[in-house]
Amino acid sequence: MSRLSVPGIAAVRSRIGAAVGVVALLAAALTGTAAVGTASAAPVTSSSQVSAASAAVPTHASAAARPAKGGWTCAGTPIPAGYVLTGFIRSGCNGAGSWNQQPVHDGIWTCAGSPIVSGYVITNYLPSGCSGIGAWYHQLARNGLWTCAGSPIVSGYVVTGFMRAGCNGIGAWYHQLARAGLWGCPGSPIPPGYRSTTYNANNCNGLGAWLLVRA
């Protein structure tokens, strides 16, 4: 059975997606791109997400092209690898907008549109953060974290719980290190060496779940 065909999942994602879409629209209006981590209400299985490159939004640059200095920069300035956006001033840079670049670390609030550095997940959302465009809390992935809808799922982890009211109403997913006997929610990855078997419609807060066993 296809996980995406389980009854009720489309409706749940639609409701959460509507809330998440507000953040994306705010970021798009100010920067010309969608907010990171808002493309889908379901968990994202890639190890990192970055904002789309555009003239108005900072983008990644190689170390050779730009030294990793950080600080306040104008819109369009490349973001060095391993850095995130932590502040936004609309009137900065003569009205073009300015962004504060900082090295990522465990437990940092970032603006909508900031890259998500590999190995990190999003665990909280503040709609009024970052001068009103929304802010996301980054933490290093570890066993037993609730993450916001749209957060990456780091390799080796599965999603075993869903909370509709989590992350200020966007929805939250429970991340655990993969092991036999866990029940994976719809959209959860199946790490190498495992397979899914029995289906239970009541698990994952009514979205349904599959039993993870060793391959």
- 3-state secondary structure string across the chain: CCHHHCCCHHHHHHHHHHHHHHHHHHHHHHHCCCCCCCCCCCCECCCCECCCCECCECCEECCCCCCCCCEEEECCCCEECCEEEEEEECCCCCCCCEEEEEECCCCEEEECCCCECCCEEEEEEECCCCCCCCEEEEEECCCCEEEECCCECCCCEEEEEEECCHHHHCCEEEEEECCCCCEECCCCCCCCCEEEEEEECCCCCCCCEEEEEEC
Residues 87-113: tens digit of each pLDDT? 999 999 999 999 999 999 999 999 999
pTM: 0.70
Does residue 34 or residue 135 have the better pLDDT?
A: 135
Query: What's the confidence (pLDDT) of residue 164?
Result: 95
Average pLDDT in the chain: 77
Contact indicator for 30, 58 with CB cutoff of 8 Å: no
Query: What's the confidence (pLDDT) of residue 67?
Result: 46
Pairs from 29-34 (Cβ < 8 Å, separation ≥ 24): 30/88, 30/90, 30/97, 30/133, 31/56, 31/57, 31/75, 31/97, 31/113, 32/56, 32/57, 33/57, 33/113, 34/113
Say how many C-beta atoms besides its own lie within 10 A of residue 181's C-beta: 8
Among residues 75, 141, 69, which one has the least CA distance to residue 113?
Answer: 75
Residues 142-168: tens digit of each pLDDT? 999 999 999 999 999 999 999 999 999
Query: What's the confidence (pLDDT) of residue 68?
Result: 52
The answer, yes or no, to whether residue 30 has pLDDT greater than 90, is: no
Ranges 13-27, 76-90, 112-126, 175-189: which has the least confidence: 13-27
Q: How confident is the model at residue 49 (pLDDT cuts 50, 70, 90)?
A: very low
